[in-house]
C-alpha cells in the first residue's frame, strides 16, 4: 500500500543506503526512498505519511549528515528532483534541490552575482537555507528575499525577517517538520570575468586547505565567538587523531573524514571527545555543525 502510493507521487526505490546518499559515505539501509518531482507531490506525500503516522526524513544532497548503520524503516524523501530555477531581472526563483555549486557557475557565466561564496559548498539550496550556510563573510541570509515552506500541510512564503537567521542557524532548526521547498534570492549584475575569477580563487583556496579527496560532512563544529574551531582542536592535540577508520583531517582539523569503512559511531566518538577536551582545556563547548540522524 505505502509502496504503491509513493510510486504514484515520485521516483521510488527500496534499495538505497545512506552511505550512497551522503558525502560522508556512512549509513545503513533505507526501507522506502522517494523523490517527488513537484511541490504538490511533496505536499501530498507528507500529508499521507503524517496521517498514517509513518516516520520520514527529508534530505537534499546529504552533505551535512552523519547517519547511523542501523536500518531505517521509515521513508526518506529526497528533494533532488525539485531542481528548477528561473531568473526574473534582479530576482532568482530556485527550488530546494538545486545544487548550489552548479547554480553558482551558471549564474557567473551570465554575469549574475549571488552565490559566489557558496560555489565550493557541496549542498543543495534547501540545505544551505536551513543552515544559513556561508563563507568569506557572506551567508544565505544576505541574499534571501523569501522562502517557500511546506508548513502545517500548506505551502506558504516566509519573508527573510521571519526566518530568525543567525550564525549557521535559521527558524527551521526550531521547527524540523517545516520543509524548505524553494527560495527567492537577490541578484546583482557584475562582470562575468570578475565573478568567475573570484570563484576560481576561492575554490583554489578550498582545495589547498580542505581534505576534498576524502569523504566528509564538511566542518564538524561551528566556530565559537571570536575564534576558530580548528585552532581549539589543534590545541588539544587532535589533528590526525583516529578511531578505527575515521580520523581528524591532518589538512584541516575541523574536518572529520572517512578513510574507507568508517561508521557514524566512530565519527561521533571523535566528535564527543573533542567537545569534552576542548571544554576541559578552554571552557568552550563546541557546537556540532553537522546533523546526526538514525544514530
Q: Respond yes or no: is residue 204 known to be catalytic.
A: no
Active-site position among 219, 247, 249, 253: 219
Active-site position among 168, 202, 222, 239: 168
Q: Respond yes or no: is residue 137 known to be catalytic.
A: no
Q: Respond yes or no: is residue 205 known to be catalytic.
A: no
Q: What are 288's strand-pairing partners?
A: 221
Active-site amino acid positions = 168, 219, 289
Amino acid at each position: 500500500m505505502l509502496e504503491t502510493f509513493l510510486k504514484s507521487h515520485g521516483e521510488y526505490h527500496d534499495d538505497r543506503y545512506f552511505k550512497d546518499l551522503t558525502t560522508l559515505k556512512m549509513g545503513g539501509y533505507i526501507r522506502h526512498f522517494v523523490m517527488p518531482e513537484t511541490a504538490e507531490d511533496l505536499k501530498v506525500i507528507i500529508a499521507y505519511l503524517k496521517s498514517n503516522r509513518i516516520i520520514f526524513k527529508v534530505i537534499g544532497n546529504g552533505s551535512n549528515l552523519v547517519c547511523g548503520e542501523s536500518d531505517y524503516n521509515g521513508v526518506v524523501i529526497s528533494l533532488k528532483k525539485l531542481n528548477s530555477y528561473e531568473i526574473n531581472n534582479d530576482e532568482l526563483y530556485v527550488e530546494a534541490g538545486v545544487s548550489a555549486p552548479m547554480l553558482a557557475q551558471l549564474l557567473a557565466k551570465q554575469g549574475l552575482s549571488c552565490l559566489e561564496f557558496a560555489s565550493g559548498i557541496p549542498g543543495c539550496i534547501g540545505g544551505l537555507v536551513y543552515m544559513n550556510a556561508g563563507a568569506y563573510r557572506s551567508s544565505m541570509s544576505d541574499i534571501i528575499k523569501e522562502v517557500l515552506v511546506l508548513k502545517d500541510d500548506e505551502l506558504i512564503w516566509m519573508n527573510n525577517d521571519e526566518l530568525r537567521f543567525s550564525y549557521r542557524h535559521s527558524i527551521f532548526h526550531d521547527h524540523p517538520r517545516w520543509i524548505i521547498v524553494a527560495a527567492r534570492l537577490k541578484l546583482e549584475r557584475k562582470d562575468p570575468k570578475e565573478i568567475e575569477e573570484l570563484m576560481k580563487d576561492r575554490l583554489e583556496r578550498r582545495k589547498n586547505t580542505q581534505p576534498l579527496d576524502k569523504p566528509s560532512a564538511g566542518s564538524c563544529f561551528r566556530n565559537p565567538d571570536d575564534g576558530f574551531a580548528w585552532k581549539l582542536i589543534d590545541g588539544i592535540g587532535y589533528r590526525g587523531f583516529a578511531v578505527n577508520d575515521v580520523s581528524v583531517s591532518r589538512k584541516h582539523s575541523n574536518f572529520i573524514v572517512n578513510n574507507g569503512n568508517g561508521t557514524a559511531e566512530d565519527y561521533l566518538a571523535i566528535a564527543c571527545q573533542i567537545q569534552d577536551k576542548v571544554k576541559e582545556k578552554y571552557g568552550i563547548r563546541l557546537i556540532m555543525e553537522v546533523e546526526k540522524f538514525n544514530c
